[in-house]
Structure 1
Amino acid sequence: MELLILVAAGLASGMLNAVAGGGTFISLPALIWLGVPPVSANATATFSALPGYLTGAWGFRRDMQAEGTLSLRAIVAIASIGSLIGALLLIVTPGEAFMAIVPWLLLLATTLFAFGPRILAAIRNRGGGPAGAGLSGTAILAVAIYGGYFNGGLGIMLLAAFGMIGYVNLHGMNGLKNVLSALLSMISSITFILAGLISWEHAVALSLSAALGGYLGATFSRRITRLDLLRLFITAVGAAMTVAFFLR
C-alpha cells in the first residue's frame, strides 16, 4: 500500500510540475502521511521532484526562448545563489516551525499564480513594460530562495515571476520553469543529502514515478488550447492544499 501511494503521488506530482507547478502539493502531504518528519519530507519531496523536472523540461524543449530584460545565463546564476540560501535556511529550521510556515507559503504561491497575469496586465496598461534588470533579478532571487527552502508551489511562483518580468508564452514559461526547478532542486538536494535529510526508502519510488509523470504531463500540456482552464485547475489545486494545511 505504501508503494502504491508513493507511485501515485509521484505520477501526479510529476505531471502537475510539468504542466504548471504544484506537484509538491501532493508529494509532501503523502510523505508526511506516511510518517516522514516534516523537514525530511520536504527535503525528500524536493529531491524526488528533480527527475520529473528534467523530463518535463525535455518535453518543452522546443518552446523555450528568452523574454524580458534578463538573459537566461543571468537568470540561472541568480537562481543558483538563491537556491543555496533557501536550502541552508531549511536545514536550520525546526520541524514545528516549518509546519507553521507551510500554509502561508502555499497561500502566497497560489495567490501570486492566480493574480499574476492581472498584475502584469495592470502594469502594461499604465504604460509599463517588462520589469528592469534590477527588479527582475530581485524577483528571481526571492523565488529561488523560496524554492530552496520549500519546493511546494515552486513552479507556480516561477510562473508568476516570469509573468511579472515580461514573459508571455505559457508553454515557453513552463519549459524554463522546469529547467530552473531542476537546477534549484539539484542544488538544494545536494545540500539536503550532505545534511542527511533525504528519506531514501521513499525517495526512490517517488523519483521514478515523478520522472514518468513529468514527461507525460509535458506531452499532454502542449496539446491544451484552453490555457485559462489550465491556470484555473492549478489554482484550485493550490487553494485546496492551502486550506488542508491550515486545517491540519
Structure 2
Amino acid sequence: MSLIDVLILISVGFVTGVINTLAGGGSLITLPIFIFMGLPPVAANATNRIGVFLQSVVAVGGYKSKGVSVFPFAIYVSITAVIGSIIGAYFAMDIRGEVFNKILAIVMLLVMALTILKPYLIKKGEEEVFTPKSKALSIILFFFVGLYGGFIQAGVGFLIIATLTGIHGLSMVKTNSIKSFVIVCYTAVALVIFIIEDQVRWDYGLTLAAGNSVGAWVTSRWSVNVDDKWVRLFLLITVIGMAVKLWFFS
C-alpha cells in the first residue's frame, strides 16, 4: 500500500466516520473505494468491517459519555441482528466478484432512494412508543437488518433509522445511539467469520479505521444535532458516480 493510498484512506475514513455517526451510508463510499484500489469484492467487503466496528465502538462511547442510551431495548434488537448477520456473512463468502459488484451498485442506488426519503420517514414531535407489540416488531425486523448487514453492510444505518423512528418515534440522537450499539454487536460476529475465512486485509482496514474513529469521535460528542441535508447531498452525488462505475466498468 502506497503513501497516497494511506492518505486517501485516512481522509475517506474521517469523512465516512462523520457520515456514519451522523446519518449512515458511509460504506457506500468506503466499499467501492477498496474495490477501486484493487481488493477483490469479498475481501473489500470483509476489510470494510474493521472501520465499521471500531468507529461504532467509539460512537457508543461518545453517546454514553453524553448520557444517551436506550437499554435494555438495544440489547434485545442486537441479539436478533447478530443471528441474522451470521447467515448474511456466510452468504457473502460464496458470491462471485462480478455479481457482487452489480448487487452493490443496485443496493447503492436503492439506499440513496431511502436517503432522499429519509426526512419523510422520520416522525417529528411524537411521543416515544415502546409497547410490547412495537418491541416485538422491531426485534423481528432487526433479524433482517443483521442479515443485510452481515452480507453487505452498505447503507444499513438508513434501515435502522427508518425502523426506530418509524416504529418507536425515537429522536435521532437516541436512534443513532442504538444504531451504533447494534452495529458493534453484529459486526463483531461478522468480522470474526471473515477473519476465519482469511478475507480481511488488515493494512487497508486499520488505516481506514483510524480515520473512521476520529470522525466518529468528533461527531458523536459535538455534532449530534447537525442538519444532515448536506451529508445526504454529498452521498447522493458520490454514490451515483460510484454505482455507474461498478455496474459498467467492474
The percent identity for this pair of structures is: 24
Which TM-score applies when normalising by structure 2? Answer: 0.85
Letter matched to residue 82 of structure 1: G
CA distance in 2, matches of 1:159, 1:119: 9
- Map of 1:1-248 to 2, 5 A cutoff? 1-61=4-64, 62-65=67-70, 71-116=73-118, 118-119=120-121, 132-224=134-226, 229-230=227-228, 232-248=229-245
| SS of residue paired to 1:168 | coil
| Maintained 8 Å contact 1:53/1:182 | yes
What are the superposed Cα offsets for residues 9-44 of structure 1, whole Å, 9 maximum, x if unpaired?
111121111111112122212212211111211111
CA distance in 1, matches of 2:236, 2:148: 18
What are the superposed Cα offsets for residues 90-149 of structure 1, whole Å, 9 maximum, x if unpaired?
01111111111112222332333443553565xx9xxx9976344323321111111111
Q: Partner residue of 2:248?
A: none
Letter matched to residue 64 of structure 1: S
CA distance in 2, matches of 1:104, 1:154: 14
CA distance in 1, matches of 2:141, 2:113: 16
CA distance in 1, matches of 2:222, 2:161: 18
Aligned pair in 2 of structure 1 residues 10, 64: CA closer, same or farther (>3 Å)? same
| Unaligned runs of at least 5 residues, structure 2 | 246-250
- What root-mean-square deviation, in Å, do the aligned CA atoms of Structure 1 and Structure 2 show? 2.4
Aligned pair in 2 of structure 1 residues 134, 181: CA closer, same or farther (>3 Å)? same
What number of residue pairs does the alignment pair up?
236
Letter matched to residue 160 of structure 1: A
CA distance in 1, matches of 2:225, 2:121: 27
Aligned pair in 2 of structure 1 residues 208, 119: CA closer, same or farther (>3 Å)? closer
Aligned pair in 2 of structure 1 residues 112, 135: CA closer, same or farther (>3 Å)? farther
| Maintained 8 Å contact 2:122/2:162 | no
Aligned pair in 2 of structure 1 residues 19, 120: CA closer, same or farther (>3 Å)? closer
Aligned pair in 2 of structure 1 residues 239, 167: CA closer, same or farther (>3 Å)? same
| Maintained 8 Å contact 1:117/1:163 | no
| SS of residue paired to 1:156 | helix
CA distance in 2, matches of 1:96, 1:138: 32
Aligned pair in 2 of structure 1 residues 238, 82: CA closer, same or farther (>3 Å)? farther
Aligned pair in 2 of structure 1 residues 112, 233: CA closer, same or farther (>3 Å)? same
Letter matched to residue 65 of structure 1: V
| Maintained 8 Å contact 2:105/2:244 | no
Letter matched to residue 219 of structure 2: G
| Maintained 8 Å contact 1:21/1:234 | no
| SS of residue paired to 2:168 | coil
State the 1:72 CA deviation: 2.8
Which TM-score applies when normalising by structure 1? Answer: 0.85
| Maintained 8 Å contact 2:18/2:216 | yes
| Maintained 8 Å contact 2:46/2:200 | yes
State the 1:2 CA deviation: 1.1
CA distance in 2, matches of 1:103, 1:161: 23
State the 1:50 CA deviation: 1.1
